[in-house]
Structure formats: structure tokens, C-alpha cells
Structure 1
Amino acid sequence: MTGTLLEISDLHKRYGNVEVLKGVDFTMNQGEVISIIGSSGSGKTTMLRCINMLEDFQGGTIRIDGQEIGYDSAGGVRRRKKEKDIARQRALTGMAFQQFNLFPHMTAAGNVMLGLTKVRRMSRDEARAVAEKWLDRVGLLSRVDHYPGQLSGGQQQRVAIARAIAMNPKLMLFDEVTSALDPELVNEVLQVIKGLAADGMSMLLVTHEMRFAYETSARVVFMNQGRIGEQGNPREMFHRPQTERLAEFLKNSTFN
């Protein structure tokens, strides 16, 4: 693990008059696996969506690998970057969502290949080889030519993860990737993420799977009402929370 990969400074995000992020400060090193926990509405998903510019934000800075994301703030004046530059910066991150967002008319391989051919400009043969490599990595080599409708929810989510990772991002973002799955399918997706963590991939995960966060994360961040309420080693945080709010949250969670 070397160097700072992600740096968030005084991040503010509003929807109209409602301030969702109220000055978030956060850094992450290369190779770290960090879980973000907290109640619904605490700003977890919004922070992830700001990191890869699916959401604009009104104040603060986000830097990935030293690059300021989304805006230029030289000379104290803040300007949104051009769309082509934002699109290029989005490639620094890969994101897996609650919903799988697969194209139903494309096979598993076709879904993974799309970004490789359209964005990375790979040949179809090269893209197919990369797609097969990552589908194999998530345990789906035997399903490469299956359509989403022929796959279980857990298998579809694993295709979505393979699609994001195949683009070779510097940072993977996971937004509650198990929340839309039936309970018996959750573990197969979590095992894939654990394997990627073991490989040293840099990952930021919004999750309600407390046991998973406890076992897999180098660090846990607890968000509370648009701010970071507490962060640290999962063992320290889960067994000796420093704030009343985190203690209350954990008491009401499924962690035991």
C-alpha cells in the first residue's frame, strides 16, 4: 500500500435547500478497502456519486491520484470541467450499483466488452479475452454467452462487477451491491469482493452488511447526518465505539 489515492476535502452537496453532505474530509490510500456505514439518508451513496461525478457538488474538492475531479479551482474560482474531461476522469473509478444495469439484449461477455470496445478502443478479440478473464475471476466463465434473463440476481451482479473492473479503474466503488439480492445470493457476491480485496484492489464500499465490513475492511467510516461521525479500525469501532450515535447504530444493526 503506497501513497494517497483519494482525498476529499470539505465536501458539500445540496439538493435545493437540503444540505446532504456538510463538509466531509476523508483520505484513502492505494490498496485500502474501506467500508462506509450509517443510517439511510446519512450521505453515504451521495458521497460515492460525487466521487465519480454522477452528482455535482457545491463546495470542496475531490482528488483521485492527485487529479482534482470535476472542477478546476485555481485562483479561488471554481469552474466545472468540460464534459470530455469529466468523462476521462470517470474512467479512474469503476462503480457497481444496487441495481445491475445490464443490457438485457447482450450476453454477459457482451456487457463486459461494451466499454472495452467503445471507450478503450480495443478490438473485439482483445475485448473478448479481457471479458472472459474477468468473468472467470468472478466465477462465471461457464456463463459468458448467457443473457441477463438467464442468470440469477447474484450472477447478474457479478457480471456488473466484472464489467466495472475490466475497465481497469484505480478505485472501485460499491454502492449496496447486495441490497437487491435474495438472502441466499448475498454471500456469492461478498465472496467475490473479498477475493478482490485479497488481490489488493482499492475499494470503497457502502454496505449494510456489518459482518462483512468487520471482516474485510482495513477501515470503517461511520457517516451520520452528512458528516463523518467516526472512523477507524473495524475491531475498535465495533467493540469500543467512541460516540453514542455509533453505539446506537450498531445496537440496531445485524452485527453480532
Structure 2
Amino acid sequence: MTDQPLLQATAVHKSFGDVEVLKGIDLTVRQGQVVSLIGASGSGKTTFLRCVNLLEEHDGGEILLDGDPIGYRDIGGKRRRLSEAKVSAQRARIGMVFQQFNLFPHLTAGDNVMLGLTKVLGKSKAEAREIAGHWLGRVGLAERRDHYPYQLSGGQQQRVAIARAVAMQPRLLLFDEVTSALDPELVAEVLGVMHALADAGMTMLLVSHEMLFVRDVSHHVVFLDKGRIAQQGRPADVFDNPENERLRSFLGRFHGLFGRASAAS
């Protein structure tokens, strides 16, 4: 981890109709850092991830990746959307793994990983095949590269989705509740892959309700409440010494996993 900011969000706002979902988010993610967003459903966690990855357009504020404004430029004092070509180039620098696996059912695991490499990065099929094989091996699925999604378990499909995202060599990797659609016995295999990526220095911004995993893997934890950051800090500070009443209540839902936090509530 370095002190160099990779992602910097300043006063980010987002509304859907009359409902303001993000109410001025300020967040910095440094290179090599793992930052986790926690909070109740509807607190704005996924919306923020989608704004970072340009799947949603933020209404105000600024999001920078490597100092480069994402999605927009201020031209003559007016906020203007970048061209689709520039937006696509920015998206290619940010990988995202979703709750649902979003694999193409008519493509094998290997072909799912290769697709972005050939279509977006312009790599030859031979090079893409080699890269896909490497990353499928890294997530423990080298022998499944010729299998179709229906031939894979949910955990295996999610590991293919992770391999697909990482193979693109993104500057930042986003995870949105990637274990929520899995049976409990399959969760550990996916979390193990994510932990290995974190140990390898991948910069990650993740949303998860796997609190023990969040505490173990994160450098920084951010608690969102109703579209605002209510508390943030080191995992030990957030989980053991929650200063915010809403955070204490939220942690209390996890059945005593964090003893002092539950006692404080």
C-alpha cells in the first residue's frame, strides 16, 4: 500500500427522482488499499460503487481515478459528460464483480474471460487464451476452462467472474456483495480468492455483509447511513469502538460477532 491516492471522491451526490441516495460522499482509496463499505440496505453503498464505475451518473461532486475526473469534465464552469469512447476507456481501468455472476451462458469459462481481452483491450486470441488460463488457474479453475456456466457451481461461476475482472488488469477492483447469491457452503471459496487478491496488493473497494471478512481483509472501513458517511476508520476502531449510535445498532445485528460493539449498543 502507498500514500498515493488512486480513487478520490469529493462531495458526491446522487438522486433518483426526489430521493437523494448519496448526500455528499468524500472518500479516498489509496493504491494497494482495501476499503470496505458497510451499512444497512438502502444506505447508498451499491449506488456509490455504480457511480465509480459509471454505471450510474452522479449528479454532483467529483470522482477522480489517478487524478483523472471520471465521466465528466468542468468546461467553462459547466459540467459536461465525456464522450462514450472516453467513458469506455475509463471503465476499462475499473473492474467490477456483481452480486449475480453475469457470465455469458453460451460461452465457456475460458471464453468468458477472454471476451474483454479481445474486444476491449484488442489482444490476440492466443494472448487472451494464455491470460485467461493464468487467471482461471489463480482462482482454482484451470481444469474448468472448457465448462459452460450451467456446468459450474455458483461459487465457481463467481470465481470465473472474478478472473474475468482481474484479467483486464484494472487499476481498481469493485466488489458488490459478491457472496450474497451463494449458498453458505460456497461463500468461503469466493472470499478466499478475494483475500488472495488483497494479499497480492490489488486495490479494492468492496461492499459486503460478511463482517468477519471485512474486518480481516480491510485497511479502512466506511459505515454509510442514509447516504452519508457516519463513521470510518481502521477496522479495529469501527468494529470495537463504534462512536455512532446507528453503527452500534447495525453491528448488533451480527449476533455478537463483535463483542464490545454489541455490548456498547
Shift of 1:73: 1.4
Alpha-carbon separation, structure 2, partners of 1:22 and 1:43: 9
The alignment of Structure 1 onto Structure 2 pairs a total of residues equal to: 256
Match of 1:45 in 2: 46
Match of 1:243 in 2: 244
Alpha-carbon separation, structure 2, partners of 1:105 and 1:83: 27
SS at match of 1:252: helix
Moved segments of 4+, more than 3 Å? none
One-letter code aligned to 1:41: G
One-letter code aligned to 1:50: C
Match of 2:69 in 1: 68
Shift of 1:54: 0.2
Alpha-carbon separation, structure 1, partners of 2:115 and 2:36: 29
SS at match of 1:86: helix
Q: How does 1:1-256 map to 2 (within 5 A)?
A: 1-2=1-2, 3-254=4-255, 255-256=257-258
Alpha-carbon separation, structure 1, partners of 2:211 and 2:203: 19
Alpha-carbon separation, structure 2, partners of 1:92 and 1:125: 22
Shift of 1:76: 2.3
With normalisation by structure 2, the TM-score equals: 0.95
Alpha-carbon separation, structure 2, partners of 1:201 and 1:58: 29
Gapped runs of 5+ residues in structure 2? 259-265
SS at match of 2:254: coil
Gapped runs of 5+ residues in structure 1? none
Shift of 1:92: 1.3
Alpha-carbon separation, structure 1, partners of 2:192 and 2:5: 26
Deviations 1:44-83 (A, max 9, x none): 0000000010001110000001110000114421011111
Alpha-carbon separation, structure 2, partners of 1:50 and 1:237: 25
SS at match of 2:196: helix
Deviations 1:83-128 (A, max 9, x none): 1110110011000000000011110000000000111111111000
Alpha-carbon separation, structure 1, partners of 2:77 and 2:177: 36
Alpha-carbon separation, structure 1, partners of 2:116 and 2:92: 10
Alpha-carbon separation, structure 1, partners of 2:109 and 2:99: 18
With normalisation by structure 1, the TM-score equals: 0.99
Alpha-carbon separation, structure 2, partners of 1:27 and 1:34: 9
Alpha-carbon separation, structure 2, partners of 1:22 and 1:127: 41
Shift of 1:187: 0.3
One-letter code aligned to 2:249: E
RMSD: 0.8
